[in-house]
Structure 1
Amino acid sequence: MTPLDTAPWQQAIADATEATRRGLPVFPIGRTKMPAIRSPHRDDPPSTPKCRGECGRPGHGVHDATLDEQRLAALFAAAPHAAGYGIACGRGENPLLGIDLDRKNGVDGVESLRALADEHGFEVPATVVIATPSGGLHLWFTGPAGARVQNSAGRLGPGIDVRGYGGYLVGPGSWTPKGAYRVTEMRPIARLPLGLLSLMTPEPVQKEVARASRGLRPRQRTAVLTGLVKSVLDAREGRRNSILFWAACQGFKDARQGLVDEQAVTGALVEAATRSGLSEAEARHTVQSAYRSGATA
């Protein structure tokens, strides 16, 4: 590399290292926003089982993402033409989830998201906003652990792409021929609105949400309650009680504001918890604990 060529690489590894210190798993990407390290399996026969990094070699894209600075340095050493870094989504106890809002070719993802929020009754909270070189925006959110959010392009609305597990966001400071990604609003990463979370889940989960909420009157079946039910249905073993407690606390908070009936919160969440694997007695005990904690807060 010439000294000029090293500038994007040096900035990329510095920015990526800082991201790991903020708890974001990252890996190097090139100027086209694609992974910067070629796959070690590129010459394997088509019948070879897919590897997601189990072989221990670099070159598995988002599956290379790491929080370890030494591992990150090794990845960048293997990627001399890296000009940026990708941030893996959908990982950990507070998984990063991204909303990519395109603004090009007559499509305005920002307006599409605003219309989606109006239609489904949720608010988009202030959060980290990254401006893309093409004029779009990336919104960063966190979701509940184990949330089965899939990547999608345009499914929620024109110009709205979702980055969930197995996807990644281009990190701020990354360079492309069209320009650099830059932070426009830096603040704590907000929780994903539950009404939006419920729209981002796979169709089988949405059917389970509808089933768990069956029989509720329209006022009871709010977007918020639907999102809470979805979170409980999605909870992994070992996290079910804690997710249920959190969801019940949120539901009773809305009930105290007159947005939903307390009975609806109890019924829908207990139903969802039993479907996810808890006993009814355990589920009711957890929901009642959440109710008491709110009453004495």
Structure 2
Amino acid sequence: MATTDRQATTLALAHALSAAERGLAVLPLSRTKLPALRSPHQTAAAPAGPPCHGACGRFGHGVHDASADPDRVRALFAAAPWATGYGIACGLPPYHLIGVDLDTKSGTDAPAALRELALRHLFTIPETVVVRTPSGGRHLWLTGPPGTVVPNSAGRLAPGIDIRGAGGYLVGPGSRTDHGVYTAVPGTAELPPAPCPPSLLHLLLPPPRPHRPAPPATGGHGRGLIRFVLAAHEGQRNTRLFWAACRAYENGIGPALADPLTEAARHTGLPESEARATIASAARMTGHPPPPGSPP
């Protein structure tokens, strides 16, 4: 290893240990900004299995290796003597770090886009740690509330604004990469990461999933009738559907089972209009009104 690389590794370890003293979980990075240690499971001889996040006890699980324990940090760097930088895991206690990556490459003006978002959504970016990237971009360090999972995203807020959240990491100041050195903006290095403004936090969280009403509870008997229809062969599809629909109406679950029975009949090749007509006939036969929209 060249002398400059040994010096870069020594400096990276020193910066990483300093960050760990502040409670930040760190891991060694290579000059490409990727985790320096490769997965021990990605070999031709390794058997396929469920994803391992470090439960095996070995190094090489990316951000899952990150730690604030100084002995473990030294062990990680000892296992990766080629490391020239370090990453800081986001989303972990005590800070639950959120990284706002403002890119200036490809003609984007991410800082201006963030200012526009702040004006539109009525928030201000507080004084916090700011790290300058070799390309001239900025990383803003913010903290999130415990129990709130902020996902990683790229360009979702605006072009050039990437978010590092749970499962992601930020390149720490003092790291040396192929493109240069990451440095803390003067006057911010000793600041604690500031709380993320609530309005901005709301933008970072995924939108709530639309509520979908649960399907009607028809019990085991209803599922059995649907399976009975699904097992029908050509020549018995209408007969099975009519028998199942009669049993459903006799047991008081006909209205709830009308659509599932129709769908099951469609899977056997019966046209939907024919299936609905058969179910309507079963309803009338058992003295019940046919489902809404059934053929007369």
Shift of 1:21: 0.3
1:249-291 CA distance string (max 9 Å, x none): xxxxxxxxxxxxxxxxxxxxxxxxxxxxxxxxxxxxxxxxxxx
Match of 2:116 in 1: 115
Tell me by how many angstroms 1:5 deviates: 2.3
CA distance in 1, matches of 2:51, 2:199: 35
In structure 2, distance between residues paired with 1:132 and 1:46: 39
- Give the CA RMSD over aligned residues: 1.5
Q: CA deviation at 1:132?
A: 0.2
Aligned pairs for 1:144-293 (under 5 A) are 144-184=145-185, 185-186=188-189, 187-204=191-208
Whole-Å separation in 1 of the counterparts to 2:51 and 2:163:
24
1:138 aligned counterpart, secondary structure: strand
**CA deviation after TM superposition for structure 1 residue 46, in Å:** 8.2
Task: After TM superposition, give the deviation of residue 104 of structure 1 in Å.
Answer: 1.1
Judged with a 3 Å threshold, the aligned counterparts in structure 2 of structure 1 residues 46 and 113 are, in CA distance, closer, same or farther, namely farther
* Corresponding residue of 1:13: 13
| Contact 1:108–1:159 (Cα < 8 Å) also in 2 | yes
CA drift at 1:148 = 1.3
Matched, 1:142 2:143: yes
Shift, 1:108, TM fit: 1.1
Residue 130 of structure 2 aligns with an amino acid whose one-letter code is V
Determine if contact 2:100/2:141 at 8 Å carries over to the other structure.
Answer: yes
Kindly provide the amino acid, as one letter, of the partner of residue 54 in structure 2. Answer: G
Structure 1 residue 3, shift from structure 2 partner: 2.6
Segment of structure 1 superposing worse, 180-189 or 163-172: 180-189
Flag the structure with larger Rg.
Answer: 2
AA aligned opposite 1:201: L
Structure 1 residue 204: deviation in Å? 2.2
* Higher mean C-alpha deviation, range 86-95 or range 36-45: 36-45
Residue 93 of structure 1 deviates from its aligned partner by 4.1
How many angstroms apart in 1 are the aligned matches of 2:56 and 2:207? 33
What SS does structure 2 have at the residue aligned with 1:36?
coil
- Between the aligned partners of 1:189 and 1:89, the Cα distance in structure 2 is 12
Deviations 1:25-65 (A, max 9, x none): 00000000000001101126684211111111000111000
- Percent identity, please: 55
Task: Extract unaligned runs of 5+ from structure 2.
Answer: 212-296
Task: Tell me how far apart the structure 2 counterparts of residues 188 and 83 of structure 1 sit (CA, whole Å).
Answer: 25
1:36 aligns with 2:70: no
CA contact (8 A) 1:148 1:202 kept: no
1:93–1:144: 8 Å Cα contact kept in structure 2?
A: no
Secondary structure, counterpart of 1:70 in structure 2: helix
Match of 1:129 in 2: 130
Q: Distance in 2 between matches of 1:54 and 1:23?
A: 22
Q: Distance in 2 between matches of 1:2 and 1:158?
A: 39
Distance 2:12 2:3 in 1: 15
Q: Does 1:83 align with 2:45?
A: no
Q: Partner residue of 1:239?
A: none
Return the structure number with greater helix share: 1
Compute the TM-score of the two structures, normalised by the length of structure 1: 0.67
